[in-house]
Amino acid sequence: MVKKDSPVPIYFQVEEIIKESIDSGKWKKGEAIPSERQFCEQYSISRMTVRQAITNLVNEGILERKRGKGTFVSAGKVLQDLTGITSFTEQMKELGKSPETKVQSFEEISASKQAAKELGLIQGEAMYKIKRTRLADGDPVAYETTYLPCRLFPDLAKIHAEGSIYDYIERQSGMPILYGRQEIEASEAGKKAAEALKIHEGAPVLKIQRTSYTEGDLAVEYTKTVYRGDRYKYVMELERKTSGSFQPFT
């Protein structure tokens, strides 16, 4: 029930009604909610008010809009622990989700300056470039571009990219991944990423660049991944540092 004489803004009341319907199980994950017109007719309120409430919940990741289909209850965010290095397949299995990979392209190219630097190669050296869309329970959540040195993995084929590349590196090539270095930044989806992830171009995303290493500090894989901002959440445990433990910038 919307109380128009209440000091609480009407759009906020609508947000609470929607949240309550989701929490009670009336509207389940992945299910469409009523249209804006239906909300307007049911509560005798303006479409602008309804739209504001829905937009706020979309921004919170509670709802999601699907172009040409309507607004749906979000499937929820994938929670990733940043205190360790794991593959996408391992992450999804730990969360009880079914991982799936769609290989967009698999090619052998000459290493660019940036990729060569990350992998310790000579610029122009042969490397694999693999573009993949990663799905969780059939829902696209990540779009990644992976680079690997050809000289380390001469028998790498597209079939390996259809599964876990980490599994290929460690089990089939016998190179245990010991650690990695990654950078995270907020960004906006470009055209290709938006198409792969089924989101609007310019939608908020998380971009992560990671280089993985095996024994002897040997770089074996460099990946640039675009994660849907409404599908991923990162968590880490931090230790309190004392003043004497900080290192000066160089």
- List of the chain residues with pLDDT < 70: 76-84, 232-238, 242-250
Q: Which domain holds residue 168?
A: 78-235
113 and 170 housed in the same domain: yes
The pLDDT of residue 76 = 62
The pLDDT of residue 178 = 94
Q: In this structure, what token pair is assigned to residue 12? A: 């906020």
188, part of any domain: yes
The pLDDT of residue 36 = 93
235 closest CA partner among 159, 184, 172, 166 = 184
What is the three-class DSSP state of 22?
helix
149 and 55 housed in the same domain: no
Q: Mind listing the pLDDT tens digit for each residue in 115-129?
A: 999 999 999 999 999
Last-in-domain residue among 24, 44, 73: 73
What single string gives the DSSP state of each residue in 142-207? EEEEEEEETTT-TT--HHHHTS-HHHIIIIIS-----EEEEEEEEEE--HHHHHHHTS-TT-EEEE
The pLDDT of residue 77 = 61
Start-end of H helices in the chain: 10-23, 36-43, 47-59, 88-94, 113-119, 158-161, 165-167, 191-197
The pLDDT of residue 243 = 62
The pLDDT of residue 93 = 79
Q: Mind listing the pLDDT tens digit for each residue in 12-39?
A: 999 999 999 988 989 988 889 999 999 9
Angle between helices 36-43 and 47-59 (to 10 degrees): 120
1, part of any domain: no
CATH number at residue 14: 1.10.10.10
200, part of any domain: yes
The pLDDT of residue 1 = 81
